[in-house]
Amino acid sequence: EAFGLPLLPPSANKGTNFSQGANFAVMGATALDLKYFKDNNVWSIPPFNTSMSVQLEWFDEVKQTVCSSPQECREFFEKALFVFGEFGGNDYSFAWKAEWSLEKVKTMVPKVVASMIGGIERLLDEGARHVVVPGNLPAGCIPITLTMYPSDDRSEYDPRTGCLKKYNSVALYHNAMLRIALDQLQRRRPDSRIVYADYYTPYIQFARTPHLYGFKRGALRACCGGGGPYNYNMSASCGLPGATTCEDPDAHVSWDGIHLTEAPYRFIANTWIRGPYAHPPLASVVRDDMVY
């Protein structure tokens, strides 16, 4: 909206005009392929083939509808803005659900980051020059996590936010490794502009001082849900019988216990465009001659 662009059509909409972009996002998509989870006995993952590498195959299909030669594609993509992710959050979520320890989940992080860097390089090889790479959100602040993994040990919660520290520590580790890898990639590809977009810091600010940002209902309780301390109920999640929707979604950070409401997304998007939570800010990257 800030750049005057329409909402992007789903990439699976065959026959659609993708000249202004396409949306490849799928619920539950992972950075690592389905085979990784099966090989490691993680059966909590849905049996859908929608991982990052599969989405890149979909990109190859869409590419054929917007350009007809390698040179034409390069010229088209170098004037486009790519948003790559967020990836990783679902990978770790499925591992937690499989009852992996903190130490074991952290062993996934280098693999996830390496997979992401490989995917970004694939886009750069296609001609992409402007790539936004979001980091992970603080998973320990999300109502589904707080509901699924409650603890009687208060020391496991951050007293300033009420978030579960263990799950946030993985997000912090992921984001730190991702930023290092992106800096290295930027040095290898100086002709590109790679933007790290920070979800974690603003979300933590919402959790610490929600009223400061207009979230009168706090950051940890879902707007749409089926009850419980965080208004998240697996058997009555948003959209299912037993769930109700709040009258003031803009006063909540969490929409359905998993995703955010529009208000925090709007705030975060503005900080990515103007700073300080995108490095560099998108306003300094997007040019007038880019494809609109």
Tens digits of residue pLDDT in 158-176: 999 999 999 999 999 999 9
Report the C-alpha gap between 245 and 45 in whole angstroms: 28
pTM, 2 dp? 0.95
Distance (Å, whole) CA 273 – CA 226? 35
Q: How far apart are CA 11 and CA 29, in angstroms?
A: 15
8-state DSSP, 81: E
Task: Round the average pLDDT of the chain to a whole number and report it.
Answer: 96
Q: Which residues of 156-178 are buried (b: 16+ CB within 10 A; e: fewer)?
A: ebbeebbbbbbbbbbbbbbbebb
Sign, CA dihedral 64-70-75-77, equals: positive
Q: What percent of the chain has pLDDT over 70?
A: 99
How high is the pLDDT of residue 213? Answer: 98
For position 222, what pLDDT does the model report?
Answer: 98
- DSSP letter, residue 130: E
Q: Which residue has the higher pLDDT, 45 or 288?
A: 45
Confidence band of 240 (pLDDT split at 50, 70, 90): very high
Among 241, 242, 243, residue whose Cα is nearest residue 258: 243
- Judge contact between 166 and 141, C-beta under 8 A: no
pLDDT at 292: 47
Rg of the chain in Å (alpha carbons)? 19
Mean pLDDT of 80-97: 97
pLDDT at 34 over 80: yes
Confidence of residue 220 (pLDDT cuts 50, 70, 90): very high
pLDDT > 90 in the chain, percent: 90
Q: Tokens representing 45?
A: 């993952």
Instruction: Tell me the mean pLDDT in the region 143-159.
Output: 98
Contact 170, 178 (CB under 8 A): no
Residue 286's pLDDT band, with cuts at 50, 70 and 90, is confident
Region 146-168: what's the mean pLDDT?
Answer: 98
Residues 6+ apart with CB under 8 A from 155: none
Q: How many whole angstroms separate alpha carbon 228 and alpha carbon 216? A: 18
**Structure tokens belonging to residue 126:** 């296609």
pLDDT at 287 over 80: no
Indicate the pairing of strand 130-134 with strand 193-197: parallel
Instruction: Name the residue with higher pLDDT: 47 or 195.
Output: 195
Question: What is the per-residue pLDDT for 291?
Answer: 54
Q: 136 vs 289, which has greater pLDDT?
A: 136
Q: Give the separation between CA 275 and CA 192, rounded to whole angstroms.
A: 19
Instruction: Quickly state the pLDDT bin for 52 (edges 50, 70, 90).
Output: very high
| Gap between the Cα atoms of 199 and 209, Å rounded | 16
Quick check: 280 and 193 in contact, CB under 8 A? yes
Tokens representing residue 110 in the block: 């280098």
Arithmetic mean of pLDDT, 87-97: 97
pLDDT band at 5 (very low <50, low <70, confident <90, very high): confident
E strands, the chain, in order: 81-83, 130-134, 193-197, 224-225, 244-245, 278-279
The first and second tokens of residue 248, run together, are 């003031």
Q: Looking at the predicted structure, is the pLDDT value of residue 258 above 80?
A: yes
* pLDDT bucket at 288, cuts 50 / 70 / 90: low
* pLDDT for position 6: 86
